[in-house]
A and B are shown apart, each in its own frame.
Chain A
């Protein structure tokens, strides 16, 4: 009798391990979790490397960023529209390291908008993260071509050149017809 609970426990461990492997690997059909996964700079580099062969849209956001929250549902819509056309969607949350209040809020938000693509939290110092990722402000969207090169960088960094949801979609479509 003692063997059965052990077996169930082992199976649970195995299942959770496989989910983690899928999530850290980038994206898979089985990945339906919207929870943020904390990652380091090195893990982020690895995640991007593993997207080779796909068009990849990365949405940089934070719970404190109102325009990010307003725009995020469009990213979810785009994911549904393009997921079967070789386009992957990833979000990278840049809330403060160790800020449980914001992370909890972000997880609740991701669940509400049904963001069933890989959602990561950069678990590094925020100042360093913005420097390392070469970000000035949020929201920001980067779109990578199938060969891994950054094809489009959309941000509010230039007051004379702002971006809209339509610009993100146009950029994806541009890459799809190439």
Chain B
């Protein structure tokens, strides 16, 4: 009896702790659905200001990893701008962030790219790469949707059909016209207080270059 009294609580505790401690997302080696928004502070933005996670007051916060040089970012810039427009006036904040140290992805190039692409959202430079690492972000673009409690409710693709800007400047969707708008659906469901399904998809794009 003493054996069971001792072992059962230990096993139960281990079972409760183990999932949180060892399971990350299916396609993300750091973050799991339900994890909190990583803290970031005074991160410089392309409009000359800074942004901290504490400044975010909206019910839904969307973070998206970007890289100016990346053909997949350029191919899906239009979809990102449309997404922001779609939820304009609603309690949603979209924030793009870059982490790469290559010259064409740094802050000065980001300012040019934001202007050229008509970015209608805050675009910040995580030079320390700390936010990118804490999010487990490895590709661009890769989306992270957080609810009002700042818990992760969705991560992955914008839609079911990633798009790339080709060398000749055309936009090529790899699965034809998008039919599943994953991020828009995640935002709408979260605003409505509903569960997000799917909560995770396999992001597709350029690999982030961590130093």
Contact = CB atoms under 8 A, between A and B. Distances in A.
Q: Do A and B associate with each other?
A: yes
Interface of A: 64-67, 96, 99, 101-102, 105, 125-127, 130-131, 136-139, 156-160, 162
21 contacts: A64-B206, A65-B206, A65-B207, A96-B164, A99-B172, A102-B167, A105-B167, A125-B175, A127-B175, A130-B204, A131-B202, A136-B202, A137-B139, A156-B208, A158-B29, A158-B136, A159-B29, A159-B129, A159-B137, A159-B138, A160-B133
Contacts of B175: 125, 127
A156 B27 CA distance: 12
Please name the 5 residue pairs, one residue from A and one from B, whose CB atoms are nearest each other, closest first: A137-B207, A159-B133, A158-B29, A156-B207, A64-B71
Of A101, A126, A136, chain B has the most CB atoms within 10 Å of the CB of A136
B96 interface: no
A65 B137 CA distance: 17
B86 interface: no
Contacts of A157: 29, 138
Q: Identify whether the interface residues of A are mostly helix, strand, loop, or mixed.
A: loop
B209 A67 contact: yes
Contact of A127 (B29, B30, B204, B209): B204
Contacts, number: 69
A157 B29 CA distance: 7
A159 B167 CA distance: 28
Nearest to B29: A158
A81 to B, nearest CB: 26
B138 to A, nearest CB: 6
A64 B72 contact: yes
Contacts of B167: 101-102, 105
A136 B133 contact: no
Contacts of A126: 174, 204
B207 A138 contact: yes
Nearest to B168: A101
A163 to B, nearest CB: 11
A162 B210 CA distance: 7
B206 A136 contact: no
